[in-house]
């Protein structure tokens, strides 16, 4: 017998990966008479595995500890991928200017420190001033499988934003075709037939507080600057946005040196196990404090 103990237990029980994780978390698995808390442990020939659990009981995995690693937080990690919580004011990947110390650099260094045979591969991106959840593949194959899901609009991606002014509708959809200005590289919606990339953003008002709207924004497509452009063109830019309607976005209430936009929810199918994974990230301190102040 040679392999990971959690895989052996999953094969033995026929249960889902999350259920098996719960068995380990609740002390139901023993190796050679000792409780096994680490499912990634490698088994050796001669090891004795015992699994005892109640068939009608639900063994929910315990919430993972969010480990701080090289300036970002790890929300989930296995041998195939990792989900990280990106801080604001950090590039996901270098621009053509060739910046170093991007999130990509940090995640790759973190992965290689564990296994020199692995690296980190970008699946999707967040703008520099945006915080929140991103998934990276540990191999090109896994990253490409995840990218296919994103291209097919399958992952769940919801943001939280503080917008300037009061959105009148409780919920709705922004839909346009986005073009890029050749000189400034700013994005804008075009009405020219056959031009631009289709961009669809669904929104809902969570609360209205004085001069701002707290909104949930769900991406159906994932174009560069999509949420920022759609909100700005509707007359309600993201607070702190220096590029799209800064005349409205930069108000005295918002003093943080970042945009009030956070990738709060990320869900997708694991490329290997096909299990649906869903992660949530807490609202950044700056946004939470302003909401508390206005309520």
Token code pair at residue 61: 């995995």
Query: What is 70-135 written as a DSSP string?
Result: TTEEEEEE-SSEEEEEEPSS--SS--TT--SS-HHHHHHHHHHHH-TT---EE-----TT-EEEEE
Sequence-ordered strand ranges (E) for the chain: 3-4, 29-31, 34-35, 42-43, 49-51, 67-69, 72-77, 81-86, 121-122, 131-137, 156-164, 171-180, 187-190, 197-209, 212-219, 261-269, 276-280
- The catalytic residue among 6, 85, 127, 241 is 127
Phi, psi at 158, each rounded to 5°: -125, 140
- Per the annotation, the verdict on 127 as an active-site residue is yes
Which residues are designated catalytic? 127
């Amino acid at each position: 017998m040679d392999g990971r103990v959690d895989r052996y237990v999953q094969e033995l029980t026929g249960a889902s990966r999350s259920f098996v994780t719960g068995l380990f978390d609740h002390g139901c698995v023993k190796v050679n008479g000792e409780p096994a808390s680490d499912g990634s442990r490698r088994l050796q020939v001669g090891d004795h595995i015992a699994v005892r659990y109640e068939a009608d009981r639900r063994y929910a995995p315990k919430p993972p500890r969010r480990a701080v690693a090289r300036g970002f937080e790890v929300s989930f990690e296995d041998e195939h991928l990792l989900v990280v919580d990106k801080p604001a004011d950090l590039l996901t990947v270098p621009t053509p200017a060739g910046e170093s110390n991007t999130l990509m650099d940090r995640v790759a260094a973190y992965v290689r420190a564990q296994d020199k045979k692995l690296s980190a591969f970008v699946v999707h991106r967040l703008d520099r001033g945006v915080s929140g959840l991103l998934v990276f593949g540990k191999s090109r194959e896994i990253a490409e499988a995840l990218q296919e899901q994103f291209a097919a609009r399958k992952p769940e991606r919801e943001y939280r934003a503080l917008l300037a002014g009061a959105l009148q509708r409780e919920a709705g959809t922004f839909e346009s075709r986005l073009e890029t200005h050749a000189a400034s590289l700013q994005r804008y919606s075009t009405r020219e037939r056959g031009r631009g990339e289709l961009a669809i953003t669904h929104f809902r008002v969570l609360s209205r507080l004085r001069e701002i709207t707290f909104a949930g924004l769900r991406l159906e497509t994932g174009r560069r600057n999509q949420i920022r452009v759609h909100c700005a063109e509707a007359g309600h830019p993201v607070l702190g946005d220096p590029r799209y309607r800064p005349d409205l976005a930069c108000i005295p209430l918002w003093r943080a040196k970042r945009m009030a936009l956070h990738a709060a929810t990320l869900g997708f199918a694991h490329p290997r196990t096909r299990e649906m994974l869903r992660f949530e990230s807490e609202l950044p301190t700056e946004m939470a404090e302003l909401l508390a102040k206005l309520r």
